[in-house]
Structure 1
Amino acid sequence: MAGVELRNINKQYGHLRVTHDVNIDVRDGEFLVLVGPSGCGKSTLLRMIAGLEEITEGTVSIGGRVVNDISPKERDIAMVFQNYALYPHMTVHQNMGFSLKLRGEKSAEIDRRVREAAQILGLADYLERFPKQLSGGQRQRVAMGRAIVRNPQVFLFDEPLSNLDAKLRVVMRGEIRALQQRLGTTAIYVTHDQVEAMTMADRIVVMRDGRVEQIGTPLELYDHPINLHVAGFIGSPAMNFVDGHLEVADGGLHVRVNADCRLRLPAGKRGEAGRAVSCGFRPEHVALTETGPIPGRVATVEMNGAFTTLLVDVEGRQLTVQTTERPRWTRGDAVYLTPRTECLHLFDAETGDCLGAQPR
């Protein structure tokens, strides 16, 4: 097993820079998830770790060894791709053992390791089948088995669940996480799905436009986002934002949203009166009340059994409320939103940075 170090990683195609001075330390045995919107550079970063993309500037180290000039097959990594990349003319057994065959391993050793991996993945009864005879989830397990038999220092996953249906994705993300914990192998996992990131990761790297925005545990990012991008990206449903300015009144600090609406901030919040801010609160941290600071009208009511999610129109902007109450509202109802003051997040309107956050 091994840790992975990325130091000042830059990738450039002509005049287009894809990543900007990326620095990440992946701990030995850690499950690290790279997450961000499409085009943010996360897959390119993964491919540079794998050696499938050339690094313009910076260094990648695996197990303390700089691997910039080492070929992919000599880096002791195994990669699981989005499209499985299985050979259609080979059986499951042949697909899983192919890389070992290329290494020149003896047939008996290949068979032992393939059957051992198949037992772990629940594929023991499918070894003589061809990929076309398998379901999507089974094909993904074969792709994972092909990685396991190599016993690599690092697993790399490039959006491996994006081709699966929603229910199977939930099952497979649990299986991948349990497998990684069982093997204890360092894993770097790329996804654009922040729910996958939150449920699977030891730590998450949030990226935007080729830059690392924040690194932390799922709850650190959820509770203490460093800027508007992280706050809006992490969490489902997404965080609500209202714009306003800071105001000192009644012995405390408030966000003045409009002439009729202001939100009192907890005692620990600091800021200069008159400063333009964006105030954020999560859907589960706001209640619908008969009176309150934010008036609006119900636009949509969505029920999924455990929760009721409402979209409330507030001066042309839709805010989200999530509650465990059974629905008693209908479209057009007048309501008031009352956020929990201890759960409010303040961001500078110009820079987007969280007020009071530690510098990056």
Structure 2
Amino acid sequence: MASVQIHDVRKSFAGFEVLHGVSIPIEDGEFVVLVGPSGCGKSTLLRMLAGLENITSGTISIGDRVVNNVHPKERDIAMVFQNYALYPHMTVSDNMAFSMKLRGAPKSEIETRVSKAADILGLKPLLDRYPRQLSGGQRQRVAMGRAIVRDPQVFLFDEPLSNLDAKLRVAMRTEIKELHQRLKTTTVYVTHDQIEAMTMADKIVVMHDGVIEQMGAPLDLYDRPANQFVAGFIGSPAMNFIEGKVVASGSPHVETANGTKLPLANVPANSDGKPVVYGVRPEHLELADDGVLAEVVVVEPTGSETQVVARVGNQDIISVFRERQTVRPGENIRLRPRTSAVHLFDKETGKRL
């Protein structure tokens, strides 16, 4: 195991910069998830860590060694890809053992490591099968087993679950997290799925347009987003955003263009009259007689909860209720935001006030 230090890393393609001075400290044994929309630079950064992309400037260190110019096979990392990358003509056992055979490891050591990895991942009954005889989840476990056999200092995962169906993704998410808790190997995991990030990470790094918007523990990002982008990206359903201006006199509130008054617990300093974006998560809206008037547009029961899309003024917002609701489209309801959980963002910069 080893720590990883990514310091002021930049990447340019034909003079166009796609990573703008990214710095991420990763502790020994930490599970770090890089998350963000397509094109944000997260996979490029992972490939640079793996040695599959050159670094334009900055440094990447694994342990005490700067690896900018170190060949991928000499970095002591193992990578699990989105498309499994298994050799179709080899059995599960041979696929898992391949990298060790290339290194010329003794046969007894290879057999021991393959057997241990197969035990960890429940692959013992499948060792003589070929990839075509496996399900998607089994193939992904073989790809993980091949990485475990190498006993690397760092595991790299590049969107490994995106080819699996929803139910299998949940199961594999648990398996990968359990694997990390057992092996305690430093892990860097790339995904665009913020649910994967929230459930698996020790630390989340939210990226957007080649820069880091925020990094921290999952619940820190959820409870205290640094800006409107992070607030909208972390959490499902996404946070509701309503534009207005701060009114400090009387009962503090944000007033929208159509006169709707959204309550505030307190007013940030020097913000009276300031144009802002009022942010409230769907689960922080409750039905109340003194709430904001809203017209129900869509009701979506999911079993454990009910999502209600309602129109406030000319804007649709989503609320989530754990209790069963009998409201129907076209009816009027009143929604009260939980003021202690409301976020205010500067309309110009997007930063949280």
For residues 202-251 of structure 1, what are the alpha-carbon distances to aligned partners after superposition, in whole Å with 9 as ceiling and x for unaligned? Answer: 0100000000000010100000000000000000000001111111211x
1:344 alignment counterpart = 342
The question of whether the paired residues in 2 share the 8 Å contact of 1:221 and 1:234 is answered with yes
Counterpart CA distance in 2 for 1:347 and 1:188 is: 31
What SS class does the counterpart of residue 95 from structure 1 fall into? helix
1:204 alignment counterpart = 204
Number of matched pairs: 353
Query: Quick check: 1:256 aligned with 2:255?
Result: yes
2:305 alignment counterpart = 307
Counterpart CA distance in 2 for 1:274 and 1:141 is: 56
Compared CA separation, residues 268 and 260, structure 1 to 2 (3 A): closer
Deviation at 1:335, TM superposition (A): 1.4
What SS class does the counterpart of residue 252 from structure 2 fall into? strand
Query: Quick check: 1:35 aligned with 2:35?
Result: yes
1:96-245 to 2 correspondences below 5 Å: 96-245=96-245
Q: Which stretches in structure 2 are left out of the alignment for 5+ residues?
A: none
The amino acid of 1:125's aligned partner reads P
Counterpart CA distance in 2 for 1:268 and 1:178 is: 44
Deviation at 1:154, TM superposition (A): 0.3
The question of whether the paired residues in 1 share the 8 Å contact of 2:153 and 2:186 is answered with yes
1:78 alignment counterpart = 78
2:328 alignment counterpart = 330
1:44 alignment counterpart = 44
For residues 255-292 of structure 1, what are the alpha-carbon distances to aligned partners after superposition, in whole Å with 9 as ceiling and x for unaligned? Answer: 11245422232237434211100010000001123442
1:278 alignment counterpart = 277
Deviation at 1:186, TM superposition (A): 0.2
For residues 147-200 of structure 1, what are the alpha-carbon distances to aligned partners after superposition, in whole Å with 9 as ceiling and x for unaligned? Answer: 000000000000000000000000000000000110010000000000000000
Deviation at 1:254, TM superposition (A): 2.2
The question of whether the paired residues in 2 share the 8 Å contact of 1:263 and 1:341 is answered with no
What SS class does the counterpart of residue 284 from structure 1 fall into? helix
The amino acid of 2:323's aligned partner reads E
Counterpart CA distance in 2 for 1:245 and 1:269 is: 12
The amino acid of 1:313's aligned partner reads R
The question of whether the paired residues in 2 share the 8 Å contact of 1:287 and 1:338 is answered with yes
Counterpart CA distance in 1 for 2:176 and 2:115 is: 18
Deviates more, 1:271-280 or 1:210-219: 271-280
Counterpart CA distance in 1 for 2:343 and 2:270 is: 12
The amino acid of 1:161's aligned partner reads L
For residues 7-58 of structure 1, what are the alpha-carbon distances to aligned partners after superposition, in whole Å with 9 as ceiling and x for unaligned? Answer: 1100000132111100000110000000000000000000000000000010
Report the TM-score, using the length of structure 2 for normalisation: 0.98
Residue identity over aligned pairs, in percent, reads 59
Q: Which stretches in structure 1 are left out of the alignment for 5+ residues?
A: 356-360
1:312-323 to 2 correspondences below 5 Å: 312-323=310-321
What SS class does the counterpart of residue 249 from structure 1 fall into? coil
Query: Quick check: 1:288 aligned with 2:287?
Result: yes
The amino acid of 1:253's aligned partner reads P
What SS class does the counterpart of residue 109 from structure 1 fall into? helix
Deviation at 1:314, TM superposition (A): 2.0
The question of whether the paired residues in 1 share the 8 Å contact of 2:263 and 2:337 is answered with no
1:358 alignment counterpart = none
The question of whether the paired residues in 1 share the 8 Å contact of 2:305 and 2:323 is answered with yes
The question of whether the paired residues in 2 share the 8 Å contact of 1:239 and 1:283 is answered with yes
The amino acid of 1:281's aligned partner reads V
The question of whether the paired residues in 2 share the 8 Å contact of 1:246 and 1:271 is answered with no
Cα RMSD over matched residues?
A: 1.1
Report the TM-score, using the length of structure 1 for normalisation: 0.96
Counterpart CA distance in 2 for 1:166 and 1:198 is: 16
The amino acid of 2:348's aligned partner reads E
The question of whether the paired residues in 2 share the 8 Å contact of 1:256 and 1:262 is answered with yes
For residues 324-344 of structure 1, what are the alpha-carbon distances to aligned partners after superposition, in whole Å with 9 as ceiling and x for unaligned? Answer: 121211111111221011111
1:3 alignment counterpart = 3
